[in-house]
Chain A
Amino acid sequence: QQQVKQSPQSLIVQKGGISIINCAYENTAFDYFPWYQQFPGKGPALLIAIRPDVSEKKEGRFTISFNKSAKQFSLHIMDSQPGDSATYFCAASKSSNTGKLIFGQGTTLQVKP
């Protein structure tokens, strides 16, 4: 059973554009939702994370939008740059189950110059 579904599988955006990646979760007990960025040959790096008590969190060009009722959250990358080209993973976990992250399948983002 896939508990976190991510879409799209791949995304191509022009430089300066907005990249949007979506995730949906099933388990209402999840209360921590991070996004990770992974470059080829590297481990995932934490980008930004949100908890269900807020509907949006912004850090620089990266914004998470969270919709608790729809059990969905999304990552928006504003002013996308070629250096943002990477694979992005959403994840979810329960505070009571510290450390067990359930990951989405990943989105490969290509930002064209």
Chain B
Amino acid sequence: DAGVTQSPTHLIKTRGQQVTLRCSPKSGHDTVSWYQQALGQGPQFIFQYYEEEERQRGNFPDRFSGHQFPNYSSEPNVNALLLGDSALYLCASTWDRGGGDTQYFGPGTRLTVL
């Protein structure tokens, strides 16, 4: 049973560029949440996707957007990258009808903005 997978592992971009991240949830899960983890900090909630729509959003600007596909995978985009966007981006999945509390995290994508 595959866990949460994310790609790519690492990304290097320059300021102003756009980036797309990818996540496949754990088998059987239908809800995907995204978190940003700056170095030495706890993860911060960006947004959550359920039934192909953004269901919740944290305190992040609309430069952060995304999609969820019918197979429950998710691809967030970050536009007009800033140096401060450098972080580990974590995808977490859960099963909404199973209560949704227990979230399983992927290994993350390390984004470096130069």
Binding site for B on A (CB under 8 A): 4, 6, 32, 34, 36, 41-46, 49, 89, 91, 93, 95, 97-106
Contacts and interface: CB of A to CB of B under 8 A. Distances in A.
A107 B59 CA distance: 24
A94 B73 CA distance: 24
Given A89-B43, A105-B42, A98 B96 contact: yes
Given A98-B94, A99-B56, A99-B100, A106 B105 contact: no
Contacts of B64: none
Residue among B56, B103, B108 with the most chain A CB within 10 A?
B103
Contact of A98 (B31, B40, B90, B104): B31
Interface of B: 4, 31, 33, 35, 40-45, 48, 55-56, 58, 90, 92, 94, 96, 99-108
B101 A95 contact: yes
A46 to B, nearest CB: 6
